[in-house]
Amino acid sequence: MSIQVWTWILVGITFSLYIGIAIWSRAASTKDFYVAGGGVSPLANGLATAADWMSAASFISMAGIISFMGYDGSVYLMGWTGGYVLLALLLAPYLRKFGKFTVTDFIGDRYYSNTARSVAVFCALLISFTYVAGQMRGVGLVFSRFLEVNINTGVVIGMIIVLFYAVLGGMKGITYTQVAQYCVLIFAFMVPAIFISIQMTGNVFPQVGFGGMDENGVYLLEKLDKLHTELGFAEYTSGSKTKLDVFFITVSLMVGTAGLPHVIVRFFTVKKVSDARKSAGWALLFIAILYTTAPAIAVFSRVNLIETVQNKEYKQLPEWFANWERTGLITFTDKNADGKVQYLANAKKNELKVDRDIMVLANPEIAKLPNWVVALVAAGGLAAALSTAAGLLLVISASVSHDLIKKMINPNISEKGELIAARVSSVVAVCIAGYFGINPPDFVAATVALAFGLAAASFFPAIVLGIFSKRTNKEGVVSGMLVGILLMLFYMTKFKFGWFGGGTKEDWWLGISPEGFGTVAMLVNMVISLVVSRLTVAPPEEVQELVENIRIPSNAGNAHQH
């Protein structure tokens, strides 16, 4: 059977499963809609959190980034995995004990202020929309290649599916759908990796295989370094970033992870505080399976790509090349009219442009794996993009219906009214996300780093100080969050998109890249919050007692100890 037939079959089966689960677990109350009724087991929550966490960026882009950046790409592995440990140990159990539905709710109540709540709503919406735009684009990419529809049509199909199970099932539907999506995405990620590892090094475990030898007894990484230097690229295993920048990017991704609203909300769905820690542990294990395999896939796909195309006759290139050329994600321009492909580091002589997002998706085709494996990867990419998109849409709808409408505009709204508001805001959010997927702003490639930087610059200090500092008050946090997020936005837009007079790499402040600047903005936010809090009136007694109470482990087994 052809790749397209296999794709229709596998995508059809997996989507029927997701939609079936959404119908089975319809949300009947706002508690079901926001936090799945608070009764999810740690194992299921761990699986769902892993799926929520591993977006199209983890599944489709991360191995591609490492594949092109080599050693420098490892900051993404360290930052994202380290962030998870930080979240599990430092924040999740305390937030669970506080017992609120959303991060915005925590900030609004802890800082006893609607201004703080409004700023938090603004930040949550900004982070979530920035993140979700990339997911919708990822869905469009997968559909356009494997179902051979136009990218825009692909985005619309994705919008309809996400809308169906996010609006119908709310968090309850999304949780159990994400458990299924994790199983699909991890199977789809590992099967080709194991096949190619055996093919290239004879080793079943890709994590070990990429440090192994090929059939000629040459270490794979040594071979790749040689291929790279022959083409004029830097050695794959050497880094070009400064230690300071690597440190700042890693910290920014770590604290950004710990401040991501759609990940934090998962810890409100378990029965008790100890379950929040357990589910974070499970999630870390499930995430590690993909994250330890990504560097191996990066190496396999890079070696295969170079060996398949470099100096080969264009007319004799395999079928996968033509398939991807149709999507516009790989392009060949015969600059010296010799009919051969020259893939070189020298931009003037290089004839091949490769979008790094195709490395994972095209990898099984380049390695000549069976058609069903190629289709399986397509289904996995969709599972990754859709699971995260659904989690983000829930944050957006909860921010509007719960934090804006119920807490600020109309406190007397009925539960049924609030549920309707949540569903309507989901519909509006999907339409906006779809618009960004069809007309991607220039920053779709930078969305992931931007979303993490924004989360680091805004939420992380507010949450940490809210738990660990009784003296931090509303004036401190509002001023800290505003300065942090505006500073981050200024730096990103200046150096990524050339606003405010633009700037090149040489103009970076202290040599810190836009991806790493979230750390600076986070530190500025922290300092301003603490200084302003000391200079203004202390929080009320009951708030200080509440903070004290969150940190007391007595009765930690009970859900809500206030």
Please tell me the distance from the alpha carbon of residue 427 to that of residue 164, in angstroms, as a whole number: 9
Compute, in degrees rounded to 10, the torsion defined by CA atoms 56, 62, 64, 66: 180
Residue 141: which residues within 8 A CB-CB, separation 6 or more? 60, 151, 154, 327, 329, 357, 361, 381
Higher pLDDT among residues 128 and 165, named by residue: 128
Domain ranges across the chain: 3-409+421-446
Give yes or no for residue 502 having a pLDDT over 70: yes
Please tell me the distance from the alpha carbon of residue 264 to that of residue 463, in angstroms, as a whole number: 11
Q: Which uninterrupted H or E stretch holds 331? A: strand 330-332
Please tell me the distance from the alpha carbon of residue 186 to that of residue 63, in angstroms, as a whole number: 14
pTM, two decimal places: 0.83
- Percent of all residues in the chain with a pLDDT value above 70, rounded to a whole number: 93
pLDDT of residue 167: 67
| Helix, strand, or coil (residue 499) | coil
Give yes or no for residue 103 having a pLDDT over 50: yes
For helices 447-468 and 517-535, angle between their N-to-C axes, nearest 10 degrees: 30
- Choose the weakest-confidence range: 26-35, 200-209, 229-238: 26-35
Convert the pLDDT of each residue in 278-327 to its tens digit. 888 898 899 989 999 999 999 999 999 999 998 899 998 998 898 888 87
Please tell me the distance from the alpha carbon of residue 117 to that of residue 115, in angstroms, as a whole number: 5
| Helix, strand, or coil (residue 561) | coil
Per-residue pLDDT band for 561 (boundaries 50, 70, 90) equals: very low
Name the nearest CA neighbour of 165 among 22, 307, 351.
Answer: 22
How is domain 3-409+421-446 classified at the CATH fold level?
A: Sodium/glucose cotransporter (1.20.1730)
Average pLDDT over residues 400-417: 83
Please tell me the distance from the alpha carbon of residue 277 to that of residue 270, in angstroms, as a whole number: 10
